[in-house]
Structure 1
């Protein structure tokens, strides 16, 4: 990393001799030791897996079309199996949030696992007269997804979950994945109905759909709370008790108050030149320029109101006051 940082610094310092079309692209997993100077000098793009069962399902379904599903040898069956796979993919992703209760080891399942399983199941359906349940379970569970799993108990858990979604019962329109009847496969085999159904799912996931007891949510919420508090503490200034320097919060608060003092009052149409709003007797309309001016006046007032409201909210947040 020090060599990379030095290389980027050299490129930045020698802008005159570097080809104007030159671009340096770097990819990295989150790493605390990644050079800060490179992050500060570059344009940063991040991609994160969606959080929550609902968001995961939407992400999985957005790249699937009816044409793709209907092209299978047994389209009605394939529709159900793909939706079941999307459920399975979302559930094993979300189990990570429960820590050791979800998986003994944290695994990085990704979209390629889902895509490969969809392709293999489609191929197996085309090559067999009957539905090859055992083959689909083995390839999807032990090879595609199971290839990432190194713990025997995790593999056993993964296969148990998969059997709930790749099974003969999933073809039944009344089959549900959870005791509360919330999670199921829609009866109509069209992708639009699947997406519409996913939109109706609750934002908060029921632990039962992950095969968890309600108490598992306590562990998850504790981990989330600890993470938030650690993040807040990490951005606090680290200085001695006798330091007279202003903290970042004090600097921001002063800047907020300065901007608030400089904000002009809302513009009042009644205080403007009356001639601007006189109606043309021939057209029975006000001048077009006045119409544009009125629109700009309204938009500027919206901007001033938004700035005033957000500045007040920021000041109250810094002072620890609830934003009304």
Structure 2
């Protein structure tokens, strides 16, 4: 407002829009923004709104959102009160499907919250208790769980790959095997201890309680997620583990494949970097 008043006093035709943009984007609101991408987004929105076109008659921020040509405050207030309670994604330069995605995530959060509040104790019927259900899930996963890559055999196979163990792609393979071994061993340990706890052999600790609740809800235990990848359910997550193990096993045993499952790596960027290094060499 001070800038606009100064422009009037100097009898200038229009505001200095870069100044207005900077004041709003970088100071008024930007001073409270800490994320670099949020700053970029704020600058983009400010540049779209604060420009010469803002004073044009019939200016529309997006189709259907027209800036009124009134000069009376009451008319502006009346126009504002008539705006919809929910903003359309188009106002922010997004596709209308963004609203669908947003509401889908809201529903998922709501359902997960409701499920988390449901009692985990068994009812009065004759069906299996939650502990029995989790015990069956744990037993099924343990039966299908692939073994870890043994250190010495893996080391010998890596030496036999083209170029030896120092080749960038071979180094990447070894790193992927190491990380998969970590999550595989963690799964073995958690599931075995969980079955022992359900049987009453060991105490049900904090991590085991989380694992029991997660598996009962078909989710991934929190401790596993810190070492692995995101997935919607424990079934899809475990299927991903099997596919990752299969890809690395075939690579280790049969040499480099003709194609790679890029998203099946813990570090896909590292794979691309290793490939660039080999090409450059």
TM range (shorter): 0.3 to 0.5
Pick the structure with more helix per residue.
Answer: 2
TM-score (norm 1): 0.34
